[in-house]
Structure 1
Amino acid sequence: MMSSRVSALAGATSTHCIKVLAQRYGGFLALCVLVLSPCVFAAQVNSVRLWRAPDNTRLVFDLSSAAEHKLFTLSNPDRVVIDISNTELKKGFGDVPIEDTPIAKIRYGTRANGTLRVVLDMTATTKPRSFDLPKHGDKPDRLVIDLYDGSEETTKTVNTAPAIKEVSTQARDIIIAIDAGHGGEDPGAIGPKKLREKDVVLAIAKQMAKEVNATPGYTAKLIRDGDYYIPLKERRNKARDLRADLFVSIHADAFHNPKARGASVFALSRHGATSETARFLASKENDADLIGGVGGVSLNDKDNVLAGVLVDLSMTATLTSSLQVGEQVLNNMGRISKLHKKQVEQAGFAVLKSPDVPSILVETGFISNPHEANKLATSSYRKFMAKAIFNGVQSYFDRQPPAGTWLALQQHKSGTGLSSKYTISKGDTLSGIAKRHSVSVKKLLEHNRLSDASIRVGQTLKIPAS
């Protein structure tokens, strides 16, 4: 009888074994069992962290090793319950900042089977989601609980672009979506003196937003305005929801060799664009998936062939614009910083895979390089960097402001047209340039005395007034 009881209780923690066995069979038997079969938990919660984002609350459990978990909700009153198998809590939740969150109270306890149960008493109904993050580098195994505000799914709608700051019914601002990389439990790269990438890029993003908003005809929208994490796909989706004219993701690079240095600009790779076209088509039955910017084009009523052509055209035009604005930004950054590469690089970054919003990723420098880290740690250099990035953005839009914007309207009123000159970039076509500047191909040919539509990279075209 004793051996079967010992076997049945194996796997609980030492503390838990003592309590349960002492209650059921007496202290002497409990001591015997612990000596014969030491009880240890498979995992331990070493710390708990919490971040509040504009539309959700994230709770992160740092674990000593991976552990299975279950998540469910209870109503009347609203509660979120988290069961973590064979796990003990090293410390309580007393220092977890639940103010300004929908969490009223956190309760916990160890169940008879060794499961750690955490109960979140809620002040409002939320949509919880959980997932595991495996140990990576210096980051431990983690259990992440996201509590999304509201009980209903949010759906994307096509909104009219925001009006310009000056009252006008005929023009709109150019919308720049600025994304500070990382955030929350993801600090990004760590530089000398524990300088964190997430703090540096948020400061640069906020400074850039000030530059943008101080410029007539422009409006900045911060994707992340505080210390919280946003999934990569959600970042680019936020830019699409805003109907942004440009998405700029700001980072600070790191490398195992501290001598690596220099700023960089990335656009999406051709392969990344191709794979994203396939993904987009796979989800085209979702009528929230739209392409084409303001006004949008739904793929819901298009057959596969037409949808494929539309998305491919959109991705090609978006990538071309991304490379062009990237060149301008890189040139301006080169005036205040050493460049890691003298041309826009291309990679399959998930955050850049928007089919209809030109997108660039800016590496403001190597935070792992002591010299560059020292500069990135100062507010003055961050201001210079933010201004350099926006100067590049302005240079791009001065040459080709989007139709219907205040900037395009001002250029038209002044008689300068959309641009006086245009330098051919990789991926450009004469028909695409003509469309962008609201002129005909025939007029472009005549104005530049061209016999056919053949153009080359680096060639400069004169753009007639539209």
Structure 2
Amino acid sequence: MADAPGPAAPMSAPAAPLRRKMIAGGCALLLLPVVPRLAQAATILAVRTWPADEYTRVTLEMDTELKAEHFTLDHPHRLVVDIEGVRLSAAINDLVSKIRPNDPYIGTVRVGQNRPGVVRLVFDLKQDVAPQVFTLKPIGEYKYRLVLDLYPKVAQDPLMALLKDAENDPLAGILENLAQDSPTEAPIPSVEGQKLPPVARKQPDEDVAPPLPRATPGARPGRPILIALDPGHGGEDPGAIGKRGTREKDVVLQIAHRLKKLIDAQPNMRAYLTRDRDYFVPLNVRVQKARRVQADLFISIHADAWIKPSARGSSVWALSQHGATSAAARWLAKKENDADLIGGVNLGAHNAQVAKVLLDLSTGAQINDSIRVGTQVLNEIGKINQLHKNRIERAGFAVLKAPDIPSILIETAFISNPQEEQLLRTSAHQQRIANAVLSGIQDYFSAHPALARRA
């Protein structure tokens, strides 16, 4: 009789550790889908809102790039945004209190955990919107950002904004004729008629200076000379920041408002602001706005900064198509042209290619006219402030590339210099800058009336 089967032979020594490794590896595989899910929960660092007549921007800053989906609902109008990989937190709940009563687009917002790992934002809207939702990678002081731009379905027309600003003005009829005669094209959003932001150390009777006595010839029979004033930066993009915390975007907006008041007080001149409050405007849109209102001159207003606090003085810049005048000029132009990266532009927008083409069309004639007007403005500024250089400087600023409008960029002072930062904070010095720029504008059009507007 055959022997009964004996007990199983013991496992060999090398086989036992191998089996334990396989079991451990299997456990690890089972755990892998769970551990990363816990690790990927993002932290909302900050929530910011920028309401304006042109559009409202909502920004969520976070430590990790996230995916978001959105859709709109009618009756009533709502925007729904689902954000994946985030949990409810105090920062995201703070969005509710950030919505201002005067926001033209958002009435209220509701925040809730829609499902595990997904937070839902529901914006109750005051009107129908065309939303743009996109993400931005870290740059400068910012981490990852989720940006919600709420545009009106029908964009506002800058020419209509000019008419609104001139309701009680005898030149309103002229502006209305200009609006009727303008070429038909997609309107560029704009805002006008807002109150001057408060400025530090306001002095009595400084906001409006009397019109200067110099006569200014008309740009075209029956219409005023139109100056497009472009306060740099805004919204998400603060520009340069001084040692005392002075932000470039605030100072240049205040100067632009003062200059607009001076220009509007002249008998045959009017000013138009590319932004009149604290919100971001892409560089190419600033150019498009000036062209849409058929501006005779474009002036971008900034406050310079440098790595050393000793740098000081005002400067005026014109466009260069073939390289900057110095290494510092190249650095400055790159810093200003990076505004779109900092402020946040949806590069997937349908007009991105159109914008690039527009900004490559500048002509030699435009640059020559820009140098002429820039020289006049620089001479006047030199009477009230030290100049960084006694001549016009040139670099490839994107905002100066309107092909048919003389365009200059003014660096009013070095905000990185403690003494000049203090001057920029005072209403008295802001008014002196505005007066000087107006004098330069008038000198230009007095000497070159044919350049005011080519038929």
TM-score, normalization by structure 2:
0.69
Q: How does 1:306-317 map to 2 (within 5 A)?
A: 315-317=363-365
Q: Secondary structure of 1:389's match?
A: helix
Q: Distance in 2 between matches of 1:56 and 1:159?
A: 15
Contact 1:187/1:196 (CA < 8 Å) preserved in 2?
yes
Equivalent residue for 2:211?
none
Query: 1:73-112 deviations in whole A, cap 9, x for unaligned?
Result: 2334322222222123432123212322222221222344
CA drift of 1:203 comes to 0.8
Equivalence for 2:131: 128
CA distance in 2, matches of 1:87, 1:191: 35
Indicate the residue corresponding to 1:397 in structure 2.
Answer: 445
Equivalent residue number for residue 418 of structure 1: none
Q: How does 1:241-390 map to 2 (within 5 A)?
A: 241-271=292-322, 315-390=363-438
**How far has the Cα of 1:5 moved from its partner?**
8.1
The answer for the alignment partner of 2:60 in structure 1 is 61
Give deviations 1:332-376, integer Å, cap 9, x for gaps. 111111111222111111111111111111100110100110100
Aligned partners of 2:301 and 2:411 also within 8 Å: yes
> C-alpha separation between the residues in 2 aligned to 1:392 and 1:357?
17
Q: Taking every aligned residue pair, what percent have the same amino acid on both sides?
A: 41
Change in Cα spacing, 1:137 to 1:214, as seen in structure 2 (3 Å) is: same
Q: How does 1:138-153 map to 2 (within 5 A)?
A: 138-150=141-153, 152=154
Instruction: String of CA shifts for 1:365-409, please: whole Å, max 9, x gaps.
Output: 11010011010010000000111111111110111224798xxxx
Distance 1:136 1:241 in 2: 32
Secondary structure at the counterpart of residue 87 of structure 1: coil
How far apart, in 2, do the equivalents of 1:268 and 1:6 lie?
Answer: 60
Give the Cα–Cα distance (whole angstroms) in 1 for the partners of residues 304 and 159 of structure 2: 35
CA distance in 2, matches of 1:158, 1:192: 40
* Amino acid across the alignment from 2:253: L
Note the alpha carbon deviations across 1:417-461, whole angstroms, 9 max, x for none. Answer: xxxxxxxxxxxxxxxxxxx7x9xxxxxxxxxxxxxxxxxxxxxxx
Cα deviations by residue, 1:234-291 (Å, 9 ceiling, x for unpaired): 1111111111000111000111111111111111112489xxxxxxxxx9x98xx999
The one-character-per-residue Cα deviations of 1:179-223 (angstroms, maximum 9, x if unpaired) are 111112221111022111111101100111111111111101111
User: Could you say what secondary structure the match of 1:332 adopts?
Assistant: helix
- Distance in 2 (alpha carbons) for counterparts of 1:68 and 1:144: 12
Deviation at 1:156, TM superposition (A): 9.6
Matches of 1:167 and 1:147, distance apart in 2: 33
2:100 corresponds, among 98, 101, 109, to: 98
Structure 1-normalised TM-score?
0.67
Which of 287, 290, 297 does residue 236 from structure 1 map onto?
287
Partner of 2:251: 200
Secondary structure of 2:252's counterpart equals helix
**8 Å CA contact 1:164, 1:171 repeated in 2:** no
Shift of 1:154: 7.5
Contact 1:172 1:404 in 2 (8 A): no
Q: Which amino acid aligns with 1:97?
A: I
Tell me what 1:73 maps to: 72
Shift of 1:69: 2.4
Following the alignment from structure 1 to structure 2, what is the Cα–Cα distance between the partners of residues 174 and 232? Answer: 23
Distance 1:401 1:164 in 2: 23
Deviates more, 1:349-358 or 1:134-143: 134-143
Matched, 1:214 2:265: yes
Counterparts in 2 of 1:23-42, with a 5 A limit?
A: 39-42=38-41
Kindly tell me the number of residue pairs found equivalent between the two proteins. Answer: 348
Give the gaps of 5 or more residues in structure 2. Answer: 1-25, 178-220, 325-350
For the residue of structure 2 that corresponds to 1:49, the secondary structure is strand
Q: Secondary structure at the match of 2:449?
A: coil
Equivalent position amino acid for 2:423 in 1:
K
Q: Residue in 2 aligned with 1:165?
A: 171
Question: What CA RMSD, in Å, does the superposition of the two structures yield over aligned residues?
Answer: 3.5
How far apart, CA to CA, are the structure 1 residues paired with 2:172 and 2:51? 34
What does residue 304 of structure 1 align with?
none
> Which piece of structure 1 moves more, 3-12 or 176-185?
3-12
C-alpha separation in 2, matches of 1:166 and 1:108: 46
Change (3 A) 1:357 1:66: same
More relative contact order, 1 or 2 (CA 8 Å, 6+ apart): 2
Cα gap change, 1:347/1:63 in structure 2, threshold over 3 Å: closer, same or farther?
same
